[in-house]
Amino acid sequence: MVKVKIFGVLRSTTGLSEHNTSAKTVNGIFEEISEIMEKRYYEDIKKQQEDTSEFKKERNAALTPHKELKFKDAIVYVDGERCMRKGKKLPESGEVWLLSPAAGG
Amino acid sequence: MTKLKAYMGHVLFVDLTKKEVSEFPWTDEDRIRTLGGKIMAADILLNHIRPGMKAFDEDNWIVITTGPLTRCDSPSSTRFNISTVSPLTGILTSSNCGGSFGRRLKKAGWDAMIITGRAETLTWIEIENETVTFHDVPERAGQMTGEAQKGLPSSTGKLVIGPAGENKVLYSCVFSGERTAGRGGVGAVFGDKNIKIITAKGNKEPEIHDPERLKKINEQWRNTLLKHPITGAQLSKLGTAGLVAPMQAHRILATKNFGDGRFESFEKVSGEELAEKHLIRNGGCFSCPMKCERRVRYEGKNIKGPELETLGLLGPNLLNDDIEKIIKWNYELDELGIDTISAAGSVAFAMELQEKGLWDSGLHFGETDNLSEVFHDIAYRRGIGAELAEGTRRMSEKFGGKEFAIHAKGMELAAYEPRGAVGHGLGYATSNRGGCHLNAGYLVVLEGLGLNIDAYTPKGKAGLAVTFQNVMEAASAAGFCVFTSYAILPHFLVGKPTSLMTRFVQTVFKYSTPVIYLVSKNPKMLKVNIPLVQYPRVMNAAAGTKFTVGDFIAFGNFGYNTERLANIILGLPVGEETDTLPKRLTDEEQVPGDKRTKVPLHKMKNVYYAMRGWKDGAPTMKTLKKVGVRIPECIKEVYPYGKG
């Protein structure tokens, strides 16, 4: 299993800090996280009994924490090394960091 | 009087020795020449200082300046500046602050105030419009910065020092509310002059040239800042503390006195940890939409939380992973009136001296239970605190270890380990006030945190350093927080680090030197205004000027040259020793075996000097004349390149 750690705005907005995955690639991780977020969204919505048109709007907001920030734009590190190719095969075990694409201060 | 709007048109001159006040002559021509803030202060000081002048000389001036936009309600424009000869570095320091004092000083009718002389007893300078009253306040001796601000008239802007300033700790601060003019030891100069408190209040307002247009531009800019991934998301959600994780990833998180760029337990001292376990709410300066301040709880109190620099330097750099200790120390250092960056840097250096057997201070990496006591000892100059209060450079001169004494020009470096972002290293080395990340041009935002251009190549870095130093210099002088400059980087680039467009720009930057060289030589050729760079547009609407982006960059260039000339007069060596970093950063690889992981300073510095029109770190006479720097008489005594 690979442990995925999420940092920055991606984490503070989604509330997702860690995720264990058996995904084979970074893209696979993104797909899994999208599914988690979507599932969470529907669970929330079910509780709130909102109407469908609102669902879509809110789901998009949940999946794109900041208007300009998306998981697929995250900066990715695999076992401490920068990974530029999202299709790159992941190791059997290890740690992946997903960082928000921009920071300063 | 001034015909320019936005300015108040008056500069207050205070002679503490004589307890007299007057108006310092400052014309519209001077305002147009220097803009305001730190550039105005540098110009005033350049024409006052003399070779050999020291921080604690009675005739050293403290120059407190606002920017033209300080009271114009533009986003993040509440800043003011304190400049003087620094006791820490021996050269000029300019310390910027977001507290309310600048706004209140303008409300009292003053754009700036200059203080000379020395009071006989501890003094409170009370400014109310044109009236200045000197109060002896010996009963306030030893008061902490919080206590010192209590019992003062309401609706006033306040400046105070704590015990560290009174005891002339070389990196003591001045506080305005909980905001700090933190770097360079301005608090010690206040202490030397026996100033405990300055307050300002009044009932005036600056005139605005075109209020409707200013309102419209302010709104546009506020939206730009709020939509930007850095200024609108990261800074408000996680504050500057949100940088710990990306710095860890990019190997730029200063660890064990800059011996490494990664810290195993970084998550325990991260912005995420702060936000999830300690944050009460975020806060910020007046008129700022970014709200990067962290309010945290400490012993039942709602206090200002630590910034990135404090987390990094009191955390990984000391091999400490206890964030609660950092919150506590941050509060204590603020109360004592001490710069957290220099204090932490000095302690880290002492720990390494101990490890190498050069000084038996009893301080050890990873053993931090006694640090509260050590910080109090620094403030009162007791025991080892007396040595630590002198800062890293002086300790290295006494105990050795210059190669790992992490400072530039005597000022301890901020928390970014530059071997993982070599252009940032060039910035540290060339920064006029010393090892400051912001005065350095903050290239790390391009080299990893924001734009992700190749952090290890020296290619193109000199040009970027010159450009960003100039832009931030001018933004600060106008009264803006320099964090606003991140929004110049379009979010379609910084928000999408792997897009084709971003990769193209990353490549182009490496080969941008010829273009930037041309612009840096003739910034005024940029006769345009663009929405991404809002500074001149705001300025024009507020003050009635007709500045372009090029004019704005030219202000920064003027400021940088003015400060550099002042530094040379004050004794900054010219030649190989001018702009240096400790050998650890230039000669030792951060990752053993990876030659890219050290700062190729010499290579970048030569290009940097060519772009600035400097020789061996000194502006040539030709450059000074071209840029328009007022050249003082005393230059003949110290200046090596008179013929240019």
User: CB distance A102–B292 less than 8 Å?
Assistant: no
Judged against a pLDDT cut of 50, whether residue B434 lies above it is answered with yes
pLDDT score of A57 more than 60: no
For range B206-215, the mean pLDDT: 97
- Residue B338 sits in a domain whose CATH number is 1.10.569.10
pLDDT level of residue A59 (50, 70, 90 thresholds): very low
Q: How far is A46 from chain B (nearest CA, A)?
A: 27
Q: How far is CA A42 from CA A1, A17, A50, B308, B537, in A?
A: 27, 20, 10, 36, 46
Report whether pLDDT(A55) > 80. Answer: no
Domains in chain B: how many in total? 3
Contact A8 B245 (CB under 8 A): yes
- Asked whether residue B36 carries a pLDDT value surpassing 90, the answer given is yes
* pLDDT band at residue A44 under the 50/70/90 scheme: low
DSSP letter string, B258-321: TTBS--TTGGGGSHHHHHHHTEEEEE-STT-SS--EEEEEETTEEEEPP-HHHHHHHTGGGT--
Instruction: Tell me the three state secondary structure of residue B407.
Output: strand
pLDDT the model gives residue A66: 47
Buried b (16+ CB within 10 A) or exposed e, B137-153: beebeebbbbebbeeee
- The vertex-B122 CA angle with B121 and B123, nearest 5°, equals 105
Residue B378 lies in domain:
240-412
pLDDT of B477-496, one tens digit each? 999 999 999 999 988 888 88
Q: What is the CATH number of the domain that holds B474?
A: 1.10.599
Does A47 contact B at CB distance below 8 Å? no
pLDDT of residue A48: 58
Residues B402, B432: one domain?
no
% of chain B residues with pLDDT over 70: 99
Question: Do residue B483 and residue A84 have CB atoms under 8 angstroms apart?
Answer: no
Q: Which of B349, B377, B412 is the last residue of a domain?
A: B412
- Residue B210 has phi, psi (to 5 degrees) of -140, 85
Strand pairing partners for A98? A6, A76
Q: Is 90 exceeded by the pLDDT of residue A24?
A: yes
pLDDT of B158 over the 50 cut = yes
CA nearest B262 in A: which residue? A80
- Shared domain check, B504 and B468: yes
Which of B229, B232, B262 has its CB closest to that of A101? Answer: B229
Please tell me which residue of chain A has the smallest CA distance to B275. A12
Given a contact cutoff of 8 angstroms between Cβ atoms, the answer to whether B567 and B432 are in contact is yes
Structure tokens at B439: 């005065």
Q: B189 and B128 in one domain?
A: yes
**Residues in chain B within 8 Å Cβ distance of A5:** 267
Domain membership of residue B447 (yes or no) is yes
- How many residue pairs bridge chain A and chain B with CB atoms within 8 Å of each other? 110
Contacts of B86 (CB under 8 A, 6+ apart): B55, B92, B93, B184, B185, B186, B189, B410, B411, B433, B434
Asked whether the beta carbons of residue A103 and residue B272 sit closer than 8 angstroms, the reply is no
Torsion over CA of A14, A17, A20 and A25, rounded to 10 degrees?
A: 70
* Alpha-carbon distances of B8 from B81, B108, B431, rounded to whole Å: 16, 9, 30
A80 contacts in B (CB within 8 Å)?
249, 262
Instruction: Name the residue facing A102 among B229, B308, B483 (closest C-beta).
Output: B229
Could A8 and B496 be called an inter-chain contact, meaning their C-beta atoms sit closer than 8 Å? no
Inspect the interface and report whether the beta carbons of B494 and A105 lie closer than 8 Å: no
Mutate to test the interface with B, among A66, A70, A82, A98 (most CBs of B within 10 A): A66
Interchain CB contact of A102 with B (< 8 Å): yes
Together in a domain, B382 and B444? no
Residue B636 counted as domain residue: no
Q: Are residue B257 and residue B360 in the same domain, yes or no? A: yes
Question: Cβ contacts (< 8 Å) between A86 and chain B: which residues?
Answer: 498
- Choosing among 3.40.980.10, 3.10.20.30, 3.30.9.90, 3.40.50.300, the CATH entry for A2-99 is 3.10.20.30
Least confident range of A33-42, B188-197, B319-328, B388-397: A33-42
A contacts of B497 (beta carbons < 8 Å): 73, 75, 101-102
pLDDT digits 0-9 by tens, B262-288: 999 999 999 999 999 999 999 999 999
Q: Are residues B83 and B120 in the same domain?
A: yes
Same domain, B74 and B196: yes
ipTM over 0.95: no
Q: Which two tokens stand for residue B5?
A: 């709007």
The reported pLDDT for the residue numbered A56 is 55
DSSP assignment letter at B525: G
Nearest-Cα distance to chain B for A87, in Å, is: 13
**Dihedral in degrees, nearest 10, Cα atoms B583, B584, B590, B595:** 20
**Pick from A11, A69, A105: which is nearest to B229 by CB?**
A69
Q: Is a pLDDT exceeding 60 seen at residue B74?
A: yes
Give a yes or no: residue B570 inside a domain: no
B229/A9 Cβ within 8 A? yes
Report the relative pairing of strands B195-201 and B618-619 from DSSP bridges. unpaired
Calculate the CA dihedral of residues B10, B91, B575, B513 and round it to 10 degrees.
Answer: -50
Best A64, A75, A84 member to test B by mutation, with max B CBs in 10 Å, is: A75
Q: Considering B361, B387, B412, which residue would you say is the last residue of a domain?
A: B412
Render the burial of B454-483: b for 16+ CB within 10 Å, e for the rest: bbbbbbbbbbbbbbbbbbbbbbbbbbbbbb
pLDDT over 60 (residue B452) = yes
Confidence bin at B644 (pLDDT 50/70/90) = very low
Closest CA to B40 of B477, B374, B342: B477
Assess whether B389 and B444 both reside in one domain: no
pLDDT(B330) > 60: yes
Q: Give the Cα separation of B427 and B436 in Å (integer).
A: 8
pLDDT tens for each residue of B86-136: 999 999 999 999 999 999 999 999 999 999 999 999 999 999 999 999 999
Residue B284 with chain A: CB contacts under 8 Å: none
Among B85, B45, B13, CA closest to B632: B45
Contact B33, B43 (CB under 8 A): yes
Residue B360 has pLDDT above 70, yes or no: yes
> In Å, how far is B250's CA from the nearest CA of chain A?
8
Q: Please tell me the predicted confidence (pLDDT) of residue B497.
A: 81
Same domain, B78 and B139: yes
Q: Is the pLDDT of residue B517 over 50?
A: yes
* Pairing of β B123-128 and β B195-201: parallel
What integer best gives the mean pLDDT of chain B?
Answer: 95
Q: What is the pLDDT of residue A68?
A: 44
What are phi and psi for residue B13, nearest 5 degrees?
Answer: -115, 125
**Same-domain pairing of B453 and B589:** yes
| Residue contact B491–A102, C-beta within 8 A | yes
Residue B525 lies in a domain: yes
> What pairing do the DSSP bridges indicate for beta strands B11-15 and B112-116?
parallel
> Among residues B31, B101, B33, which one has the least CA distance to residue B62?
B101
Asked whether residue B187 falls in the same domain as residue B110, the answer is yes
Amino acid of residue B405: A
Say if strands B618-619 and B614-615 run parallel, antiparallel, or are unpaired: antiparallel
Is the minimum CB–CB distance between A99 and chain B shorter than 8 Å? Answer: yes
Q: Write down how long chain B is.
A: 644
Separation CA B471–CA B344 (nearest Å)? 29
Among candidate residues B482, B437, B446, the one with its CA nearest the CA of residue B464 = B446
Q: Last residue of a domain, which of B412, B444, B469?
A: B412
CB B487 within 8 A of CB B80: no
Average the pLDDT over B276-301 and give the result: 93
CB distance B134 to B128 below 8 Å: no
**Residue A32 pLDDT > 60, yes or no?**
yes
Placement of tokens 């030792």 in the chain = B588
